[in-house]
Amino acid sequence: MGKKTKVTIENRKFFCDNPDCTFTTFAERFDFLEQNGKKTKRLIDKI
């Protein structure tokens, strides 16, 4: 409809206490966003 929309998403952050794990923090991922993306996949497909 030609109007800008801003969506704010709060994702959860998880911590790993396992000393053998190479990552200490994990963030929730969403299917509709690329990693570190600022636009949804649906919007990118339309451009």
C-alpha distance from residue 46 to each of 2, 3, 14, 33, 35 (Å)? 13, 15, 33, 14, 19
Model pTM above 0.75: no
> Given a cut of 70, is residue 47 above it in pLDDT?
no
> Given a cut of 70, is residue 46 above it in pLDDT?
no
DSSP single-letter state for residue 38 = S
C-alpha distance from residue 8 to each of 4, 11, 21, 23, 39 (Å)? 13, 10, 31, 26, 12
Q: What is the pLDDT of residues 11-20, one digit of tens each?
A: 888 898 888 9
> Given a cut of 80, is residue 24 above it in pLDDT?
yes
